[in-house]
Amino acid sequence: MEPKRGRIFSNLIVAGLIGLFAMGATRLDRSVKASALGSSGWVIRPSVTYENLTVFPVVASENPETGDFATLDEALASGDVLVSEQGHSLGRTRDGRIPSGFSTGPQVNQLVLINRGRKPVLLLAGEVVSGGKQDRIIGKDRIVPVGRSPLPLDVFCVEHGRWTGTSNQFFGANLMVHPSVREEAAIEQDQSQVWAAVKGEAKSVASGAAFGAPRISAGALSDAVAAAGTQSYPRIYESSPIGRSVESAADEIRRRFSRATSDLQGQHTIGVVVAFGDEVAWSDIFASSELFSAYWPKLLSSYVVEAMMRPGVHETIPLEEARDFLRPITGHIEEESEPGVYLWRKQSVGRLSETQLTALVPKPLMLHDLRVRRGDERGVMVR
């Protein structure tokens, strides 16, 4: 009986070792396929690549409820939010006076916003509102609570030339400016650089021919701006050949991205890390899959425009580089807060900048995290 018992014990040891080896192999396989980012709970999935644009899905097991917040586009479409030029009747009190903080006439870098809906409204830097004297983009992430007085809203102009209009009202364009423009608004807060970026002249756009020619040159973009007549940002990408190219590329990436995120099994897509050519340079991450889905179509179009303005470098970006891009940074901190509503924080170190928007009610919840790898001062992306 003893030899038989010994064989059974040996078999159990071998089975245990095989099981441990299989577990180790599974863990190794998972570490190759997806990278978790510490306490944030974010996991980076394998990339989707098309031409010189690489997109890494960011997923999480938690998916908090964010339906209590409205996006700017949906609030404008429903009429819950009104945006107008300064000095219009929206900026006046009932007795006709101009409230403190408002101007008596239109201002390039400030509009008036009223939230008369039932939900706080989420604004993201780089969102386009069309109308008024000229199109504008939101200057900074923020939350507009319900039932407040007309709000002076900081914006940047994306039309360098027009200052006329038949209406003082604005509507949602369902567009996000491409990252080179958005960086100048969200990070640099510089109007002249915003104008330069719209025409393809921003310092963050690479121009080195040694890396391959971009599919949208600065000259082609400038021509498209001129052809738009009023220099309307939406018209540049809706009616020009550039727009048709962007739409075609975005459709292809959207299909590939949907396939890549179709088998998550208990995880939820909440954002993306983006590489242009051979460099990981951008990320947009949200609190929930609901918020990400709301912004994904216009974010994707903006990434495609940016990729077409960058050198056509075709690279396979390792998953670890996307993970490194999202590692916590410690640098100079700027904060802006509206008590009981939101906290906005920006950190910068070297070429990296990160902004985070946190809702403070009903409980603290980080709604949007934006990270940017800025260009150097010579106008060439460095690595």
How do residues 170-187 score in pLDDT, each as one tens digit? 988 899 999 999 999 999
Q: Residue 124: is its pLDDT beyond 60?
A: yes
The tens digit of pLDDT for each residue in 21-42 reads 444 434 433 333 466 665 578 9
Does residue 12 sit within a domain?
no
Q: Is residue 334 part of a domain?
A: yes
Q: State the pTM of this model.
A: 0.81
Residue 213 lies inside a defined structural domain of this protein = yes
Specify whether the CB–CB gap between 81 and 118 falls below 8 A.
no
Number of domains, the chain: 1
Q: Is the pLDDT of residue 74 over 60?
A: yes
Mean pLDDT score, 240-247: 74
As a whole number, mean pLDDT of residues 227-231 equals: 48
Domain housing 141: 35-373
Mean pLDDT of 293-307: 95
Inside any domain, residue 211: yes
Task: Please provide the distance, in angstroms rounded to a whole number, between the alpha carbons at the two ends of the chain.
Answer: 69
Least confidently predicted of 198-207, 223-232, 234-243, 361-370 = 223-232
| Confidence check: pLDDT of 288 > 70 | yes
pLDDT above 90 covers what percent of the chain?
52
pLDDT value of position 163: 58
Q: Confidence band (pLDDT; 50, 70, 90) for 343? A: very high
Q: Mean pLDDT throughout 305-317? A: 83
Residue 123 inside a domain? The answer is: yes
Do the domain assignments include residue 380?
no
**Could you tell me the two tokens for 42?**
């974010």
State the pLDDT at residue 247: 86
| Residue 321's pLDDT band (cuts 50, 70, 90) | very high
Using the predicted structure, report yes or no on whether residue 1 has a pLDDT greater than 60: no
- Distance from C-alpha of 368 to C-alpha of 285, rounded to nearest angstrom: 6
More confident residue, 195 or 261: 261
Distance CA 99, CA 87 (A): 10
Structure tokens belonging to residue 261? 């995120």
| Between 17 and 199, the higher pLDDT residue | 199
Could you tell me if residue 22 is inside a domain? no
Evaluate if residue 213 carries a pLDDT over 70.
no
Average pLDDT of the residues of the chain: 80
- Residue 303 resides in a domain: yes
